[in-house]
Amino acid sequence: MEAKTKDLWVFIETNEDGSPKKVGLELLNPGRMMADKQGGKLVAVVIGDNVAESVEQAGIYGADQVIVVEGPEYKQYTTDAYVKALYHLTEKYGPTTIMIGATNNGRDMGPRFSSRVKTGLTADCTSLDIDEETGNVAWTRPAFGGNLMATIMCPDHRPQCGTVRPGVFKKPEAGENKAEVIKEEFHVAPRPSRGCQRGSW
């Protein structure tokens, strides 16, 4: 996909009650540094149900813009609905970078999303920067059971994507909420016919 902007997106994963998972807010911290170096906006993408609190927090912790997709079909995470929504937003707005918290859901959604876009995804990063020479994100991650660190880049595909390990970065300082909020109406069938449903063992 072509990047239409220099914007950096942070995916804010929500709990079932609509509050944000910590890792999304943590990522606004390196996200700010990287968005500034990239010369674009820091955008928080919130998907969930009744997400007012998450939208507010994303603004308080420094997002320039918050894009919101809201609906009962997003109350519980499903691969199908979340990947469709994130894909739709990406196609429409064309960010240059997307960061996703490496929670179980984030690592379920990330590769499904990046392979739909046909772009690169760096897994479970623990350190982030912008490469001065090329302007690409330099994603650093452990491999070989933590015995090796690798710095990975995705030079020719956009958006460049990575999942980032929770607890590595601290939440930024809270500040005045100046974020512009964009509500996107995007809905998917609540129960995909072939798909996954919660049940009991």
Partner 1 sequence: MNILVCVKQVPDTTQIKIDPVKHTLIREGVPAILNPFDGYALEAAARIKDKDPGTKIVVVTMGPPQATAVLKECVGIAADKGYLVSGRTFGGSDTLATSYILSHAIKKIEETEGKFDAIFCGKQAIDGDTAQVGPEIAEWLDLPQVTYGLEIEATEDGFKVQKEAEDGMQVIGIKSPCLITFTKPSFDPRYPTIKRKLMANKAKFETLGDDFDPTMDAANYGLNGSPTHVKKSFTPPVKSGGMKIKEETGEESAKKLAKILVDNNIV
Ligand X SMILES: Cc1cc2nc3c(=O)[nH]c(=O)nc-3n(C[C@H](O)[C@H](O)[C@H](O)COP(=O)(O)OP(=O)(O)OC[C@H]3O[C@@H](n4cnc5c(N)ncnc54)[C@H](O)[C@@H]3O)c2cc1C
Least spacing, CB of residue 155 vs partner 1, in Å: 7
- Closest contact distance (angstroms) between CB of 175 and partner 1 is 26
Tell me if 7 contacts partner 1 by CB under 8 A.
no
Three-state SS for 109? helix
Q: What are phi and psi of 170, to 5 degrees?
A: -90, 150
CA dist., res. 105 & res. 82, Å (int): 10
Residue 79 contacts partner 1 per CB under 8 A = yes
Pairing label, strands 137-143, 127-130: antiparallel
Nearer residue to ligand X within complex by CB, 71 or 159: 159
Provide the angle, in degrees to the nearest 10, between the axes of the packed helices 104-117 and 79-93.
50
146 binds, options partner 1, ligand X, none, Cβ within 5 to 8 A by partner type: partner 1
Which phi and psi (to 5°) does residue 104 adopt?
A: -55, -45
Binding mask 142-181 for ligand X (x = CB under 6 A): -x----x-x-x-----------------------------
Q: Where on the chain is the footprint of ligand X (CB under 6 A)?
A: 120-123, 141, 143, 148, 150, 152
